Amino acid sequence: MGLFKITGCSAWIHVSSLACTSPVVSQVITLILGFSLLSSNSFYINCGLMDQVTIENEVEKVQLLPAKNDDHEGVEVNLMEEHMDSDVFLTLLRTSMSQWTMQGKKGVWIKIPIRLVNLVEPTVKEGFHYHHAEPDYLMLVKWIPKTTSTIPANASHRVGVGAVVLNDKREMLVVQEKNGILKGKGIWKVPTGIVEVGEDIFDGVIREVKEETGIDTEFVQVLAFRQWHNVLFGKSDLFFVCMMRPLSFDIQIQELEIEAAKWMPLEEVAAQPFAKKESLLRYIIDLCTAKVDRDYSGFSAHPVTSFKDEKGYIYFNKRDLN
């Protein structure tokens, strides 16, 4: 085989079809030109249409987008460049897709950082769709096979926590919110909040209590959890009710979000009109009473390891397990 080399240039060059017996290069050039080369003895190509394809001594060297294989016969593209021309990217993307299709790859994930927002439009025009977004990137994905896609949907749930903190006087730590649907309603409720990315449930609830009230606590158990749907931007919501042990008692409220906070006798919390309905607060009070008076057993946290040796926690009723 003779030397075949195309590099980023603006001139037209002559290439012998003998150099195009490689299926990879033949398919790449066909993709770029839009017609097959099988019937041609020779042809001319504008090098400006491609970034780089090299065939030398029958060894294929095709420049592709930087990617790694995932665990499901797909690839993940993570663009690290500070700047990238849209046309150069489009050429690399088409070349890469041709290669990955021949390799039998399935899902192709492309993570585009916000600084390369100019690459979003050409990616979408190549058949990719949005999967999810974070403050600094957009993730797009495409399913290659002509079969039903098994690409998982974007995260479906948000995780919240509520803290049941009871002192030795049977007083519950409660707050009134300064914002949201409970603003100005005069309802006393337990401290609540959202678990952050990479944060364990017990760490999240400890943090939320400290932020809202200044009280240090120790996680005891998950007493129960609640699920709601279509809560925020169409997503579902999981809320974990956690029993906490107070380690301090002087309240210092977070003025940005909290209108007031105090230690309130459990009976007074339960006497609120809102707590008498079939509400979350009613069940929280019932669970708290059952825990204190009848030794109700919730779920405690226990270390667990995944198949990938990742560390996490499983929550279960240890007392009844033994």
Catalytic residue, from 73, 126, 211, 257: name it.
211
Provide the 10 A C-beta neighbour count for residue 56.
Answer: 13
**Is 211 among the catalytic positions?**
yes
**DSSP element (H, E) containing 292:** helix 280-294
The position carrying tokens 């439009």 is: 121
- Annotate 225-278 with DSSP letters as a single string: EEEEEEEETTEEEEEEEEEEEES-------TTTEEEEEEEEHHHHHHSHHHHSS
Contacts of 77 (CB under 8 A, 6+ apart): 65, 66, 67, 96, 108, 109, 110, 111
What is the CB-side half-sphere exposure of residue 264 using CA atoms within 13 A? 20
Query: How far is residue 267 CA from its own chain's centroid?
Result: 41
**DSSP element (H, E) containing 315:** strand 311-316
Distance of alpha carbon 258 from alpha carbon 269, whole angstroms = 17
List residues with catalytic annotation: 211
